[in-house]
Amino acid sequence: MTTPVPRLELLHVTKRYPTIVANDDVSLSVLPGEIHAVLGENGAGKSTLMKVIYGAVKADSGTMMLDGHEVSIANPAQARRLGIGMVFQHFSLFETLTVAENIALVLDEPFNLPALASRVKEVSEHYGLPLDPNRMVHSLSVGERQRVEIVRCLLQKPKLLILDEPTSVLTPQAVIKLFETLRQLASEGVSILYISHKLHEIQSLCDHATILRNGRVTGKAVPREETPASLARMMIGRELPVCEAPIYEGEHRPVLTVRGLSLLPTSQFGTELKDISLTVNTGEILGIAGISGNGQAELLSALSGEAATERDVIRLNGKSIGHLDAGERRAKGIVYVPEERLGRGAVPPLSLGHNALLTAHRQGMKNWGLVRYGKARIYADECVNRFDVRGADASTNARALSGGNLQKFIVGREIMLKPEVMIVAQPTWGVDVGASAVLRQALIDLSRTGVAILVVSEELEELFEIADRIAVLAQGRLSPARPRGELNAEKVGLQMAGLFDHAETTPAASMMETKHASA
């Protein structure tokens, strides 16, 4: 018996950035046909490691072996020639080109679109990833776009396929399909590097796992032989924090109501909102589930006032507010934490003091058109202290903060405005586990003081942790909200998929009907 030669072997890879060591002496090895997980939370160094393998980033030291030969990969094109394919978390697709054109751009072969189109069809069907090669990418759903990325890799006959957090854009059912495809590939001898922070996925899919924390390898494991708790300990160094949601005992009354909201998309490839109705009550968190790109951005801008809507469609305590802009709505007690922290929720090159001024200027920070910066600084400092924003004060620039700390500042800044309604988009996107727990607990605590909160999130687990009721937004339509206890991931997933694809619409169609009946 000879031990098989690993498909990929990394030995002592180190990559330093000016402020951090992203990879510190990382070694791992993947056999042919193996599905290998790289597990770690946000900022653990997973993405940097993959970029090193794919040639997009050059390591400072360390060795990389491919099929037993030492290789030095200068750029992604060379990586592809060596048989390494990568599916990025942020797709590298061109929206204004067709599927076939997108694929043609990565292939080293004569330019012949019709021939390529038929090959795309063939390969995509073989692996259960149906695609129309002549569709424009901007007209595809996020899940379909991921298929384009995968098929694009497969056409180059890779020996090693890297997938970076592939399931964050998929419905639970689509995740199962993707896993089938990946197992089929592995059975054909392709090695797969699967990057994720989702423990149960890794347990159901992967043969081996390498766990990273702060750029270092903190464990190697066979995921099926571990428990989520033991994996989590390796990943974050302690138990997974859990939020506590006490029962709300105050009065229940609707605060924010939306009736029959329809809206044309504001951006070129946006989604149209169709006849959306919802109610958020005092003391509850309403969760809106669904994959981004299904009208999430449009719904949020309509609710926050960034997009103009009809006057009577949105009401606060019964009064029409649809015609008010974001500033006017904030003055009436509707605050908003956007998904984009840098550049929307905060101005990157300005200090936290100035960023407090951005939305809190009505809190006595102005005098005859002149700014009282002293007040803004006090506000920012109080926010930093109350919400545990680490390593910052009022004079720190927003862009110098980590994602989690900036999110704590923005959430804190809005909570300190003493809102009646709080709208939050992707509250913990890209935030480390510790800060996520703090943020979720802060939202729960705020709701229990009687504030009505609406959370839009792609992470189902997050919604099941904090939301009292959950509705699903898919293709610009919103399902009626149902209490969390009546739902599970599968049911919500069916609603997402059902609203996408009319072949399996039964559950969703009946949903829509009940909604119309009730409206």
Partner 1 sequence: MHLLEPRPHPSRVMRWTAPLIAVVATLLAGSFLFWALGKPVLDSFQVFFVQPLESSYGWSELLIKACPLILIAQGLAVGFKARIYNIGAEGQLIVGALAGGGVAIAMEGSDAGWIVPAMVVAGAIGGALWGAIPALLKTRFNAEETLTTLMLSYVASLILSYMVNGPWRDPEGMNFPQSIMFSDGALFSILLEGSRVNTSIWITVFAVLAFWIFNAKSFLHFQIEVGGLAPAASHYAGFSAKQTVWFCLLTSGMTAGIAGVGEIAGPVGQLNLNISPGYGFAAIIVAYLGRLHALGIVLAGFLMALIYLGGEAAQVGLQMPAAITGIFQGMLLFFLLGSDVFIDNRLRRMA
Partner 2 sequence: MIEHLIPILAGTLGAAVPLIFAGLGELVTERTGVINLGVEGMMLVGAIAGFAAAAETGHGAAIGLPAGALAGAATAMIFAFFALSLAANQAACGLALTIFGIGLSAFIGQHYISYSLPGLKPIAIPLLSDIPVLGPILFKQDWVVYLSFLAFAGVAWTLTKTRLGLLLKAIGESPESAHSIGYPVISIRFGAVAFGGAMAGIAGAYLSTVYTPLWVQNMSAGRGWIAVALVVFASWKPARLMLGAYLFGAVTILQFHAQGLGIMVPVQFLAALPYVATIVVLVIISRDRRVLQNNLPASLGKPFLP
Binding site for partner 1 (CB under 8 A): 18-19, 58, 60, 304-306, 325-330, 336, 338, 340, 343-350, 354, 357-359, 361, 366, 369-371, 397, 400
Which of partner 1, partner 2, none lies near 76, with the C-beta cut-off 5 to 8 A by kind? Answer: partner 2
Give 166 or 305: the residue with its C-beta nearer to partner 1: 305
Q: For residue 118, what are the CA distances in angstroms to 95, 156, 335, 370, 463?
A: 21, 15, 51, 65, 42
Q: Does 106 bind partner 2 (CB under 8 A)?
A: yes
- Site pattern 229..268 for partner 2 (x: CB under 8 A): ---------------------------------------x
Check if the beta carbon of residue 281 is closer than 8 Å to that of residue 253. Answer: yes
Which of partner 1, partner 2, none lies near 503, with the C-beta cut-off 5 to 8 A by kind? Answer: none
Q: Give the shortest CB-303-to-partner 2 separation in angstroms.
A: 22
Q: Give the shortest CB-491-to-partner 2 separation in angstroms.
A: 36
Give 408 or 469: the residue with its C-beta nearer to partner 1: 408
Q: Does 94 bind partner 2 (CB under 8 A)?
A: yes
Give 315 or 354: the residue with its C-beta nearer to partner 1: 354
Q: Give the shortest CB-9-to-partner 1 separation in angstroms.
A: 22
Within 236-325, strands assigned E span 254-263, 273-281, 285-289, 314-316, 319-320
Q: Which stretch binds partner 2 (CB under 8 A): 63-71, 101-109, 249-257, 493-501?
A: 101-109
Q: Tokens representing 142?
A: 């996020």
Closest CA to 243 of 468, 10, 18: 468
d(CA 344, CA 348): 9
Q: Does 111 bind partner 2 (CB under 8 A)?
A: yes
Closest CA to 181 of 168, 169, 197, 194: 194
- Using DSSP's 3-state secondary structure scheme, residue 57 falls into coil
Give 338 or 498: the residue with its C-beta nearer to partner 1: 338
Q: Which one among 97, 142, 342, 350 touches partner 2, defined by CB under 8 A?
A: 97
| Residue 384: alpha-carbon gap to chain centroid | 25
Q: For residue 517, what are the CA distances in angstroms to 338, 473, 510, 511?
A: 32, 18, 10, 10
Give 55 or 498: the residue with its C-beta nearer to partner 2: 55
Check if the beta carbon of residue 402 is closer than 8 Å to that of residue 315. Answer: no
Q: What are phi and psi of 327, to 5 degrees?
A: -65, -45
d(CA 41, CA 13): 19
Which of partner 1, partner 2, none lies near 96, with the C-beta cut-off 5 to 8 A by kind? Answer: partner 2
Q: What are phi and psi of 155, to 5 degrees?
A: -65, -20
How many residues bind partner 2 (CB under 8 A)? The answer is 21
Amino acid at 489: A
The footprint of partner 2 on residues 50-89 (CB under 8 A) is: 55-56, 75-77, 79-80, 88
The footprint of partner 2 on residues 311-330 (CB under 8 A) is: none
Give 117 or 234: the residue with its C-beta nearer to partner 2: 117
Locate all alpha helices (DSSP H) within 166-268, ordered by sequence.
172-187, 199-205, 228-236
Which of partner 1, partner 2, none lies near 250, with the C-beta cut-off 5 to 8 A by kind? Answer: none
d(CA 61, CA 22): 12
Residues near partner 2, by CB under 8 A: 55-56, 75-77, 79-80, 88, 91-97, 101, 104-106, 111, 268
